[in-house]
Amino acid sequence: MQPTLRPAQHLSCVYLYRDPIDFRKSHRGLSALIEMELGHNPFSGHLYAFTNKRRNKIKCLFWENNGFVLYYKALAEEKFKWPRRTDEVIQLTGQQINWLLDGYDVSLMKGHKKLEYESLF
């Protein structure tokens, strides 16, 4: 069995950056996007996931105690099922980011919309 390097299953906050990015960006460029465009603290320990235009690559960035960790996966043939672009940032769990890396469409993992009624009659 080959070793697997993956984001931890117990991660509670994983954020997907919706727009494709230039994959030449290093940890500095990615942390600047996190801070300036999302308004988040890149040193929080949360994991941030990014994709390219062709959606065949994913880069993840997170701060671990004393430095940034970059996780990079490039698919040989297929594409990642990246959620459509909207204004909202998608938040996933550690298990869900691993499902995304395995090829599942995480945008379909939403429950029914919440309904609120004042009265039946």
Note whether residue 3 is domain-resident: no
**What is the number of structural domains in the chain?**
1
Query: What pLDDT is attached to residue 88?
Result: 72
Output DSSP code: residue 44.
S
Q: Exposed, middle or buried: residue 49 (CB in 10 Å: 0-12, 13-18, 19+)?
A: buried
Question: How many CB atoms are closer than 10 A to CB 93?
Answer: 16
Note whether residue 115 is domain-resident: no
Note whether residue 75 is domain-resident: yes
Which domain does 67 fall in, by range?
A: 14-108
Note whether residue 1 is domain-resident: no
Phi, psi at 51, each rounded to 5°: -130, 170
Calculate the CA 92 to chain-centre distance: 7
**Strand bridging mode 47-51 / 14-16:** parallel
Q: Is the pLDDT of residue 5 over 70?
A: yes
What are the pLDDT digits (tens) for 18-67?
889 999 999 999 999 999 999 999 999 999 999 999 999 999 999 999 99
Note whether residue 102 is domain-resident: yes
Span between the terminal Cα atoms of the chain, in Å = 62
Note whether residue 50 is domain-resident: yes
> Which of 6-10, 16-20, 25-29, 74-78 comes out lowest in average pLDDT?
6-10
Note whether residue 6 is domain-resident: no
Note whether residue 43 is domain-resident: yes
Query: What pLDDT is attached to residue 120?
Result: 66
